[in-house]
Amino acid sequence: MDSFFSAADAALRTLFATPRSSTPSPAQGIVEAEMDAAQKRLSGALMRVNHVGEVCAQALYTAQAAVTSDPQLRAHLVAAAREETDHLAWTRERLDALGARPSLLNPLWFAGAFALGLVAAKVSDRASLGFVVETENQVSAHLHSHLQRLPEADVASRAVVARMKDDEERHAAQARASGALELPAPVRGAMRAAAKVMTSTAHYV
């Protein structure tokens, strides 16, 4: 029951509360650049996709922490979720600054990621960590592509994305060092396909 209430609390806070970061945003102190309407729309769409990624990260880590019986792994997952909360807050701040909105499908994205996290964690702790590695690798690749696509003038968003990319790569390395199982190629392919659907949809909705 404790795990159920913790998961419900995480879902409510992620989807309906204003996220609060424990670390100042990398965009703090950067003066908002003058951008035309098309540039602002692009930045807003890309940051919406990044915000969705952080919604999914909250769901993933919450589900995995609820299932594992390893206290050390649970503490690791909770710590990672705390860092992802910073990312959630930073991306939401950028959406607000750009006059953009979060994805209307965030409850769906959260539910899907939570279900996948439960399945991975039920298999084994090593499989759960393997899912973290693959997820973070894919997120890092998306963030890298966004650094190529964000308007050069949007220095604030670029600073946030660069910092997030570094953090996601560190999470993947930590999970790998903790004994993550390498996922089979078909599973990795399915995850990439699902991520493609999510990012393509969240860009607009």
State how many domains the chain has: 1
Mean residue pLDDT across the chain: 91
pLDDT tens string 120-175: 889 999 998 999 999 999 999 999 999 999 999 999 999 999 999 999 999 999 99
Q: Is residue 188 part of a domain?
A: yes
Q: Is residue 30 part of a domain?
A: no
Instruction: Classify 86 in phi/psi space as left (phi over 0), alpha (psi -120 to 50) or beta.
Output: alpha
Whether the CA torsion 92, 98, 101, 103 is positive or negative: it is: negative
Cα-only R_g, the chain: 16
Q: Is residue 73 part of a domain?
A: yes
Q: Is residue 28 part of a domain?
A: no
Task: Specify the higher pLDDT residue, 15 or 164.
Answer: 164
Question: In terms of DSSP H, where are the helices of 68-105?
Answer: 71-98
Q: Is residue 19 part of a domain?
A: no
Distance of CA 77 to the CA centre of its chain: 13
Give the mean model confidence (pLDDT) for residues 58-63. Answer: 90
Give the CATH number of the domain where residue 90 resides.
1.20.1260.10
Q: Which residue has the tokens 């990260």?
A: 57
List Cα–Cα distances, 191 to 133, 136, 169, in angstroms: 12, 11, 17
Q: Is residue 23 part of a domain?
A: no
Q: How far apart are CA 67 and CA 45, in angstroms?
A: 34
Which range marks the domain in which residue 141 is found?
A: 2-14+35-202
Q: Is residue 146 part of a domain?
A: yes
Give the mean model confidence (pLDDT) for residues 8-14. Answer: 77
Q: Is residue 197 part of a domain?
A: yes
